[in-house]
Amino acid sequence: MINTSLITGASGGIGEEMARYHASKGGNIVMVARSIDKLHELKSELESNYNIKVTVIESDLSKADSAMKIFAITESAGIQIDILINNAGFGGHGKFHERDLIKDQAMMQVNMVSLVNLTHLYLQGMVNRNYGKILHVASTAGFLPGPLQAVYYATKGFIVSFSQAIAQELIGSNVTSTVFCPGPVATGFVTAGGLEGVKLWDNATTAKSAAICGYEAMVKGDLLKINEKKLGFVLNWVVPFLPRKILLKISQKAMEKN
């Protein structure tokens, strides 16, 4: 059976590499992003290399009605979505009270609200068919507060909680929800979020390796996946036992620029 995957944020980074990996498995794809030219370039590449069908949808997920419009397009085209990969997201750097509130509101819309909306719209069909997989791309940032990225860290914490709750609700069905929490990844996220000079990204992993790790975790139906074992150990077995004030200082230090 050919699985059709809908991938948000597919024009670059992890989303682009997940599209390539899914295509290499012979699956059709609906790619969603704002950068329509990049989507068409990737569409040509994937259809040529893998003999699959790719549909592109230009959408700005910071708009309140974006998820419903995406759903309407796939429904009217008769495209059944078997795999939903909620990858789109962005961050921003600086003290919360000094940042542009409109930008943080857009971040919350993309990282949380549109993700929830897309999940609700497509999950119903998956449950009715008793088949489907959802992958939420969160971050290791979702495990702790993030001074200098307060809203971004909070949105990722929301995704970590949301995905696991859904996964529990879906037990007994053939539908799964997986949350992928990568550490620093070398993508356009750094430039877009004004994070140049932050030491945390000095040893970032590649988007390709992160994408494959997250995708394979989804295929297995894992509840939660962290792509770096050492980081996973720290988050699971060290961070919960640190005094809160010390944890906050460490977290802020990691976000400070050189």
Residues 6+ apart with CB under 8 A from 35: 11, 12
Q: What is the DSSP letter of 3?
A: P
According to the model, what pLDDT value does residue 169 have?
Answer: 98
CA angle 27, 34, 26 (to 5 degrees): 5
pLDDT at residue 199 tops 90: no
According to the model, what pLDDT value does residue 234 have?
Answer: 83
β partners of residue 205: 185
Q: What is the pLDDT of residues 214-247, one digit of tens each?
A: 999 999 999 999 988 888 888 888 888 888 899 8
Q: What is the pLDDT of residues 51-66, one digit of tens each?
A: 999 999 999 999 999 9
Lowest mean pLDDT among 84-88, 152-156, 206-210: 206-210
Domains and CATH numbers, the chain: 4-255 (3.40.50.720)
